[in-house]
Amino acid sequence: MPREQPQWIIDRRRDLGDRVRRLRLNADHTQESFAELTGIDRRTLQRIEAGTSDPRYSDLLRIAAALDQRVSVLVD
């Protein structure tokens, strides 16, 4: 049975999703084009941007590389 996450984790996950979305849009990518660029399923990107899932570290690395950013920019 999954544990319920504390609110501060939910908030941080939403912040991460907002950052990814903002940076993706600033780079003029749709979710579909960004999914192709990163090799991450579009539905997975939707969940990350919505803050409803915890992204794998490898996904964060792919996202950061596609945006020419450090992972720390995403999770700061």
What value does the mean pLDDT of the chain take?
95
Could you count the other beta carbons within 10 Å of the beta carbon of residue 10?
Answer: 13
Could you count the other beta carbons within 10 Å of the beta carbon of residue 58?
Answer: 10
pLDDT in tens, 14-39: 999 999 999 999 999 999 999 999 99
CA–CA separation, 58 vs 41, rounded Å?
A: 13
pTM score, whole prediction: 0.91
CA–CA separation, 4 vs 21, rounded Å?
A: 25
C-alpha pair distances (Å), 13 with each of 28, 33, 36, 37, 51: 23, 23, 23, 22, 5
Mean pLDDT confidence for 66-70:
97
- By percentage, how much of the chain surpasses pLDDT 90? 92
